[in-house]
A and B are shown apart, each in its own frame.
Chain A
Amino acid sequence: MEVLARLAAAAADPAEAKNIAAAGSAGFAYGLAAIGPGIGIGIIFGNAIEAMARQPEAAGMVRTTMFLGIAFTEALALIGFVVFILLKYA
């Protein structure tokens, strides 16, 4: 109800409407930025587990590269997060 009340108030005040639209857009962009890395991490994990199942003796090497791959993929989400923070609060 509070959201509806704010939306109704925003309709009367263009500045408030702009703020709400900016907040919604920033949140939407952050959500989109988190989807890609989520898919990427899933692909990395799936392939790493397949590789470890095929060659258990190489599990250490696979785990090392998998960890780095996940961290690199996560950087995309962090970039989206930082852009969101800067757009929303800076």
Chain B
Amino acid sequence: MTSDQPSPFTTGLSGPAPEMSVSRDLVKRGLLVLPLLCLVAGVIWGMNGAYSCAFAVALVLLNFLLAALIMAWTAPISLALMMGASLFGYLARLGLIFLAVLVVKDFSWVSLQALGCTIIVTHLGLLFWELKYISASLAFPGLKPGKQESSPVQP
């Protein structure tokens, strides 16, 4: 690396943090579908399933928020710190999820099948849902869903 190139150890990213808005979107959508997920889990696994489903959705949403917070907090400081914090954050978040499940696994209201299935379905479902909006707004910013009425595309 030559001296005129910026060092990743000292270069930070200024400006707004897009991952925070993505994670806020994910949380909003997660809260939106929470009753439906609890209803489905309740029908399949009973009341314990519904409670476990709510707990799993809370875990997934907190995981998204924590990941975004770590990136948004470290990005203005330095790129290297952001990379390190995100990689170790990945391990820490997995550990936290493991710990959270380990703590509640013996409670009477926990159905492990419902908990596990909801974690996977919610995580992937919310991401694919968000991906649709991100793809549309990255390809054609004017076509961002939900903003069409306020900012029509100019030909």
Contacts and interface: CB of A to CB of B under 8 A. Distances in A.
Interface of A: 34, 37-38, 41-42, 45-46, 49, 52-53, 59-61, 63-65, 67-68, 70-72, 74-75, 77-79, 81-83, 85-86, 89-90
Contacts, number: 100
A81 B18 contact: no
Interface stretch (B28-36, B116-124, B145-153): B116-124
Interface in B70-123: 71, 75, 79, 83, 86-87, 90-91, 93-94, 97-98, 101, 105, 112-113, 115-117, 119-120, 123
B68 A67 contact: yes
Interface of B: 6, 8, 13, 15-19, 22-23, 63-64, 67-68, 71, 75, 79, 83, 86-87, 90-91, 93-94, 97-98, 101, 105, 112-113, 115-117, 119-120, 123-124, 127, 130-131, 134, 138
A8 B52 CA distance: 38
A67 B131 contact: no
Contacts of A42: 87
